Structure 1
Amino acid sequence: MKKWMTAVTAAVSAVTMLVGCSPEPAKEPAKEPASAAKPDNGGAKPSLKILANYAANLDPNKDVMVADLEKATGYKAEFFMLPQQKPEEKLNIEIASGADYDIIKLTPTQFYTLAAQGALLPLDELINRYGANMKKALLPESWDLAKLGGKTYGIPQKNERPQVGALLQIRQDLLDGLGLKTPETADELYNALKQLKAKYPDKIPFTGSSSDSYVNPTIGSAFQLYNEWTDINGKLVPRIQMPQIKDYFAYMTKLYKEGLIDPDWAINKTTSAEEKYVSGKALMMNVGYTPATRIVPAVMKNNAGAKLAYIQPLKDASGAAGIQADYKLNYVSAVPKSAKHPEDAVKYLDTKLEENNFEFLAIGPKGETFNLENGKYIPIMPAFTDRRNNGYWYLNGIDEHRYPDMWLARLRRDPNLFAAFEEMNKNTAVFKTDPTSLMPPIDEVSKNIQALKKLEQDYFIKLLMGEEKLDGYAAFISQWNSEGGAEMIKAVNNWYQSSKK
């Protein structure tokens, strides 16, 4: 996105009104953190005040990370958290009152709001003087995410790596008993569910809940419904208006009418759908890699001989498949204009991103909290959790070259978690990136998106239940457009065109 700043300037114009979101190998000696930054005047370093968002079960000034941060950077720091409820309201009050935080770690919405209000310090000069490590750690294009009007106002922190968070999981042991392989197409899935229903008439072939996305990513792949937004001839089209959406709706309503989808889908809560699946009453459901840590052991415990399989994104008639891989901006670490120690703040941020320091702070000392085995970061338990369980909260940017692999050490602490993640993310060839994944907050999206998503979800549920017919789709889209959809599409495409210039 060559001109991200142009797009952001337009995007935040309305936001500003908010006033300020195997056996272990022999251990090697732990690698010491790099030399800490020195103040310009050669004197004592000031203590820094750092504000970040809420984290449950964390006292930010008592965690083991505090001492390790001082060891790595040479700076003492006092940490503060925004409240869990109404954090933006508290943030705006703090900034308006001139609170002297040296660093604030912000969500994208919080960052763009404060930058547009003029509450943040431009950092280009300080980064040029003191930011050699951060320049090395971040990819050049990442810096655009923290710019406004051509100036850099923070250090961007994207998610660790593009990733798929959930796939359909099915009782493969029962498919094996029917002589069926794991489905690879929509027709194969339909046939598998039909045969499961015939063999086990008291079971629910496919369960889910009213909160599940109306387009299941695994099934949507067969209809080329990969992302929330798709570029068609240079224009972004929302998923609900994709030409293939009616075929997808027809497929899902067919499954429902034939008793292959849970009749209680419209009223199921996530917990009730999960209970049906782990008890063996239901045979397939959408499973995320984090919930898999409880779901997989429960299925195995309750169903003797159970064997589970993740269904990869289904292929369409041409053999193509795809699924959205999440890739987004998580945080921006900025320096408010009211900061007492802006130079030291940038030095602190930069020192944290020095190669050895970053490894030490992110995953601990080699040989004590992790080992490298065949190029893979393997956690040493329980030391990794004892010393780095809350490490992510303290990061202010990541080494974008190395952290995607380092981060996997966190997942490897739980075999079920890592196995699920690895299976869901093994086929990177089908990963699709939503063209709006790094889009800044846009007022026309923010004010309409929740109501429009509910409208879409309600329409899908009514289709399943037979309360709506597909021949009423055009009327539904007319309603969707009139209730903010058309306004949102225009704003998103204005940003998209600006971002490509």
Structure 2
Amino acid sequence: MFRRSWRRVSTATAALLAVTTLAACSDDPSDSQDLSGNRVGAMADYAAGTQFRATEPVSFSILYNNHPNYPLKNDWLFWSELKSRTNVTLEPVAVPLSDYEQKRSLLVGAGDAPYLIPKTYPGQEDTYVSSGAVLAVSDHLDLMPHLRDRISRWNLKPEIDTLRQEDGKFYLLPGLHEKPWHDYSLAVRTDVLDELGLAVPRTWDDLYTVLKAMKARYPDTYPFSDRWSKPNPGGNLLNLLAVSYGLQGAGWNFQHTSWNAETGTFEYTGATERYKQMLQYLNKLVTEGLLDPESFTQTDDQARQKLANGKSFVISANAQVVVNDYRPDLAQTNPAATIAKIPLPIGPAGEINPASRLENGMMISSKAREDKNFVAMMQFIDWLWYSDAGQEFAKWGVEGTTFVRDAAGKPTLAPDVNVIGLNPDAPKHLQKDFGFYNGVFAYGGKPELVQGFFSAEEQQFQQVMNARTPIAVPPPYPFSDAEREQASLWETPLRDHVTQASLQFILGQRDFGRWDAYLAELKGKNHDAYLEMVHKAHDRYRKANS
């Protein structure tokens, strides 16, 4: 998923170290620690390719993100089959999706968190590092052969290095993708394109041309009326444009810094010429009546209603909302209408795939390190989240019950099981009735696993995106504890001011002739000092790891 919270990134050209070097470099592998009292239930011969099964029954607490689309059930097949295969019982501490991040923060801060803390995006662990509340998981990579094997075979060291703190260690076990997977883009009414004799827009300039033609044919509409603007105005749209303009992110993925490879320096994203050009593009759309100005304030339901009622023809999208939201909405109001997600429009940065290969992952409570079953726990995590067999189980379930294999051995849903509309008339649901394909457990992996439930059109979308150059991974700048504390004081006022001023520029409430005044305002909010601290941290990291 593209909606991610990234903190820092590392050099794309960094050479991959051997697996043994990976565990030793900047880490303190548990081989050198005394874990003799923490091996109860652990397998003595656990290795990559091995099915994990604890040598005696064990149980681990886990913070559980309770999704409203498939509320937690204690009788799910997932739980019983997991215990049967691994001898592990998970004890979920259920938290509603809407409160997950706040509850996680409270539990970790109070020292009451369960052992396993999943659904944590890279960067979200920063807050807890200095307190010692979460484990330096990089100290224990030798207990996780599947994870180490994937880092090595998939050349993931540059991405893994983005997780490292100033001490050289990392505190989050991330979800890993072999290939980038980009989902978010725009959806366009393809029947309107056909009516106007227009091709699917390939670039942002093409989109402007399409919107102009739609406006000429339907003058009483705003051809583009967007969603996903709460709580971040223009959340998805600004982020898509930012990466298309060669920036690290904006909107709901706002990044304070972007790496300028030409100058070899970090720039403040909201102060760059590229960011200004992006805002000018949006201002042109608003000024010419092509983009609904309410796009930055309206609810998702309001945006969907406009699309369904023919008041707009373009909207932000991912694969699921096209199937679950837009097509059913249109089917009720205009059965002849067709809509599709288009490949991310190309901007000044060229044909890039902006997705990272890191996914949300897991923190581990530091208390778990003292548990007698600690080694077994790390082996279990390694199998369920990082082995081919564990990932297939978490996603597809049990062969013969929730899925079958075709002649080539490829999993396919059982005929009586539905998920994301693949068997719409089936009486059972993979997530709701069985607990599989659960966002707490199923993410990342090989492309064939990630794309296992993709429709033919989504696979075609992925083929287009995968043909593009992966976005470069800029250098890291891990802050010290003191720097992080200072950064937290500066970042919120800076982000808030960028957000406010961006909307003013987009909506025409502020003229671009006042851009220099805006830059001066950023300086007044410690923009220069922030960048100086970023470069200092980067130089320190580079020297320590050269």
* TM-score range relative to shorter protein: 0.7 to 0.9
Partner residue in 2 for 1:296: 327
Please tell me the residue identity of whatever aligns with 1:342. F
Counterpart contact for 1:325–1:432, Cα < 8 Å? yes
Please tell me the residue identity of whatever aligns with 1:86. K
Matches of residues 85-484 of structure 1 in structure 2 within 5 Å? 85-95=102-112, 103-105=116-118, 107=120, 108=122, 111-119=125-133, 128=142, 130-139=143-152, 141=157, 144=161, 149=167, 155-158=173-176, 162-208=180-226, 211-213=233-235, 216=238, 223-225=245-247, 227=249, 228=255, 229-232=258-261, 233-292=263-322, 293-316=324-347, 320-322=350-352, 324-334=354-364, 336=367, 337-352=369-384, 353=386, 355-372=388-405, 377-380=411-414, 381-382=417-418, 384-385=430-431, 386-389=433-436, 391-394=438-441, 402-409=445-452, 411-412=453-454, 419-420=457-458, 423=461, 426-430=464-468, 432-433=470-471, 435=473, 442-443=484-485, 446-484=488-526
Deviation at 1:469, TM superposition (A): 0.6
Counterpart contact for 1:221–1:321, Cα < 8 Å? no
1:48 alignment partner, one of 59, 77, 82: 59
Residue segments in structure 2 that go unaligned for 5+ positions in a row: 1-9, 28-48, 250-254, 419-427
Deviation at 1:424, TM superposition (A): 6.1
SS at match of 2:259: strand
Deviation at 1:50, TM superposition (A): 1.8
Counterpart contact for 1:452–1:485, Cα < 8 Å? yes
Counterpart contact for 1:377–1:406, Cα < 8 Å? no
Please tell me the residue identity of whatever aligns with 1:164. H
Deviation at 1:462, TM superposition (A): 1.8
Please tell me the residue identity of whatever aligns with 1:72. R
Encode CA deviations 1:279-320: one digit per residue, 9 max, x unaligned.
111122222333222113322442243233444344457x93
Partner residue in 2 for 1:68: 81
Q: Residues 498, 432 of structure 1: CA spacing in aligned structure 2 closer, same or farther, 3 A cutoff?
A: farther
Tell me which moved more, 323-332 or 102-111. Answer: 102-111
SS at match of 1:264: helix
Structure 2 CA distance, aligned partners of 1:391 and 1:276?
Answer: 32
Q: Residues 176, 365 of structure 1: CA spacing in aligned structure 2 closer, same or farther, 3 A cutoff?
A: same
SS at match of 2:267: strand
Deviation at 1:422, TM superposition (A): 5.1
TM-score (norm 2): 0.70
Q: Residues 118, 225 of structure 1: CA spacing in aligned structure 2 closer, same or farther, 3 A cutoff?
A: closer
Q: Residues 238, 299 of structure 1: CA spacing in aligned structure 2 closer, same or farther, 3 A cutoff?
A: farther
Counterpart contact for 2:477–2:541, Cα < 8 Å? no
Q: Residues 226, 299 of structure 1: CA spacing in aligned structure 2 closer, same or farther, 3 A cutoff?
A: farther
Tell me which moved more, 471-480 or 380-389. Answer: 380-389
Partner residue in 1 for 2:53: 37
Deviation at 1:474, TM superposition (A): 1.4
Deviation at 1:276, TM superposition (A): 0.8
Deviation at 1:270, TM superposition (A): 2.9
Structure 2 CA distance, aligned partners of 1:264 and 1:124?
Answer: 46
SS at match of 1:486: helix
Structure 2 CA distance, aligned partners of 1:499 and 1:375?
Answer: 46
| Matched length | 457
Deviation at 1:421, TM superposition (A): 7.2
Partner residue in 2 for 1:18: none
Encode CA deviations 1:219-268: one digit per residue, 9 max, x unaligned.
55764457452333221224322323333333322222222222434543
SS at match of 2:273: coil
Q: Residues 314, 81 of structure 1: CA spacing in aligned structure 2 closer, same or farther, 3 A cutoff?
A: closer
Partner residue in 2 for 1:22: none
Deviation at 1:144, TM superposition (A): 4.9
Deviation at 1:71, TM superposition (A): 1.3
Counterpart contact for 1:50–1:77, Cα < 8 Å? yes
Structure 1 CA distance, aligned partners of 2:139 and 2:242?
Answer: 47
Partner residue in 2 for 1:13: none
Please tell me the residue identity of whatever aligns with 1:433. I
Structure 2 CA distance, aligned partners of 1:156 and 1:137?
Answer: 12
Structure 2 CA distance, aligned partners of 1:458 and 1:498?
Answer: 33
Structure 2 CA distance, aligned partners of 1:391 and 1:495?
Answer: 38
Please tell me the residue identity of whatever aligns with 2:516. A
Deviation at 1:200, TM superposition (A): 1.4
Partner residue in 1 for 2:37: none
Q: Which has the higher contact order (CA 8 A, sep 6+)?
A: 1
Please tell me the residue identity of whatever aligns with 2:412. I
Counterpart contact for 1:122–1:152, Cα < 8 Å? yes
Please tell me the residue identity of whatever aligns with 2:287. K
SS at match of 2:294: coil
SS at match of 2:105: helix
TM-score (norm 1): 0.75
Please tell me the residue identity of whatever aligns with 2:378. V
Structure 2 CA distance, aligned partners of 1:127 and 1:431?
Answer: 30
Deviation at 1:467, TM superposition (A): 1.9
Deviation at 1:137, TM superposition (A): 4.5
SS at match of 1:69: helix
Structure 2 CA distance, aligned partners of 1:127 and 1:225?
Answer: 33
Structure 2 CA distance, aligned partners of 1:278 and 1:376?
Answer: 37
Encode CA deviations 1:140-174: one digit per residue, 9 max, x unaligned.
62765676645676644346853323222222322
Counterpart contact for 1:34–1:357, Cα < 8 Å? no
Please tell me the residue identity of whatever aligns with 1:462. Q
Q: Residues 494, 267 of structure 1: CA spacing in aligned structure 2 closer, same or farther, 3 A cutoff?
A: same
